[in-house]
Amino acid sequence: MERALGSADGDRSPADALGRPLRDLRISVTDRCNFRCVYCMPKEVFGRDYPFLPRAELLTFEEIERVARVFAGLGVEKIRITGGEPLVRRDLETLVAMLARIDGLDLTLTTNGALLGAKAQLLKDAGLRRVTVSLDSLDDAVFRAMNDVDFPVTRVLEGIDAALAAGLSPVKVNVVVKRGLNEEGILPLARHFRGMGVVLRFIEYMDVGHTNGWRLDDVVPAAEIVAAIDAELPLEPVEAAYRGEVANRWRYRDGSGEIGVISSVTQPFCGDCTRARLSVDGQVYTCLFAVRGHDVRALLRGGATNEELTAAIAEIWRARTDRYSELRSAATVDLPKVEMSYIGG
Ligand SMILES: C[S@@+](CC[C@H](N)C(=O)[O-])C[C@H]1O[C@@H](n2cnc3c(N)ncnc32)[C@H](O)[C@@H]1O
Ligand code: SF4
């Protein structure tokens, strides 16, 4: 039988216009957050009067599950629940239980950890296997300044302990490094989490959205981060586990664990990007830096059948040409973009 043009595996797993298969989906379940990280939701913009989406605009859990199943049918193997802060969405464990029932899916969640102490066991019981916690510094003053709501670092560490105790595995810790803000904290983080089975992942500060005032000078290149750690705790590279893995992996030569670096600015990985994003109001985005989404909620609420949804999403993917990070330049910084808290980090 003849295969559709540009398709990796017929309709079941479409390839985009640059030959990239669809394998991952990030689902943003809320545009709200209990933190105001300076690089993501600066207070001056996301203040009291910020027009967060009203409830009726959000996809319901049933709608999210339906879209997730369609994506799984099209080849998605991994789903990450994100936001905003996913744990501020009420009864999130109910959604986790619904998605955990999808066969063969690697289901995970990214959280700032503030509510993880209370939720880790519930999430594990609902079927979550692993979790990523964002923690930018172990220095309490630096951390409070970065989350900008005076949230203490000890509470996030308690959340990480709760995740480990609940058996969520592996626990990964995301660290966004911004020049002059938390770069001093790289080695203390490495020393702290080494040997605990927690995988640290350092992320280059990115020009997402329009509100964080990004400048290239603020980026600490991944190579510099690796060199700083390697000087004290020798590292060696680890082979990528699969196509589209975003982190470059390194392990400590003494066997005490591994770290990852996500060099989205200095070494863009668009060529291997297999990721789609579902925004909190049901728009499908084919790039973190996309300007416009595709309105899948209108299809859902307009009575589309599963076959129609599948055909529409496959078509969106086939038409995909995005490679923003490879084209990033001084000129692209000012292009219109959507905020990360809405599209899902
Ligand atoms: C948008 S957050 C959503 C999930 C959750 N609230 C959290 O913080 O983990 C997802 C990830 O994006 C990262 N992030 C946010 N803004 C970023 C930026 N400008 N550059 C790089 N990473 C960023 C966060 O640090 C976090 O690890
Ligand atoms: S990075 Fe996460 S915790 Fe921080 S403001 Fe953005 S959504 Fe909230």
Question: Which ligand approaches the C-alpha of residue 203 most closely?
Answer: 1
Pocket lining: 206 vs ligand 1, CB cutoff 6 Å = yes
User: Which residues lie closer than 8 Å to 245 by C-beta, 6 or more apart?
Assistant: 272
User: Which residues lie closer than 8 Å to 179 by C-beta, 6 or more apart?
Assistant: 205, 217, 218, 219, 220
**Ligand 1 centroid, distance to 208 Cα (angstroms):** 10
Question: Which ligand approaches the C-alpha of residue 33 most closely?
Answer: 2
Q: 133 with 171: CB under 8 angstroms?
A: yes
Pocket lining: 182 vs ligand 2, CB cutoff 6 Å = no
Q: Which of 29, 40, 109 to mutate to test the pocket of ligand 2 (most atoms within 8 A of CB)?
A: 40
- Give the pLDDT confidence score for residue 3 in this predicted structure: 34
Nearest to 46 by CA among 221, 212, 278: 212
Helix, strand, coil in percent for the chain, rounding step 5:
35, 20, 45
- Give the pLDDT confidence score for residue 337 in this predicted structure: 64
Mean pLDDT by 10 residues, the chain (345 residues): 39 85 96 95 93 97 98 97 97 98 96 98 98 98 97 98 97 95 96 95 82 80 95 94 80 96 84 92 89 94 97 94 69 63 68
Pocket lining: 263 vs ligand 2, CB cutoff 6 Å = no
Pocket lining: 33 vs ligand 1, CB cutoff 6 Å = yes
The pTM of this model reads 0.92
The ligand 2 atom at the shortest distance from the C-alpha of residue 114 is 3
**Ligand 2 centroid, distance to 341 Cα (angstroms):** 7
**Ligand 1 centroid, distance to 345 Cα (angstroms):** 5
**Ligand 2 centroid, distance to 2 Cα (angstroms):** 46
Nearest CA to ligand 1 atom 2: 345
**Ligand 1 centroid, distance to 249 Cα (angstroms):** 19
Pocket lining: 174 vs ligand 2, CB cutoff 6 Å = no
Can you tell me the distance from the alpha carbon of 114 to that of 134, in angstroms, rounded to the nearest whole number? Answer: 10
Question: Which ligand approaches the C-alpha of residue 205 most closely?
Answer: 1
- Give the pLDDT confidence score for residue 217 in this predicted structure: 86
- Give the pLDDT confidence score for residue 267 in this predicted structure: 80
Q: Which of 39, 40, 148, 337 to mutate to test the pocket of ligand 1 (most atoms within 8 A of CB)?
A: 40
* Token output for 74: 């099209």
Nearest to 40 by CA among 263, 288, 267, 224: 288
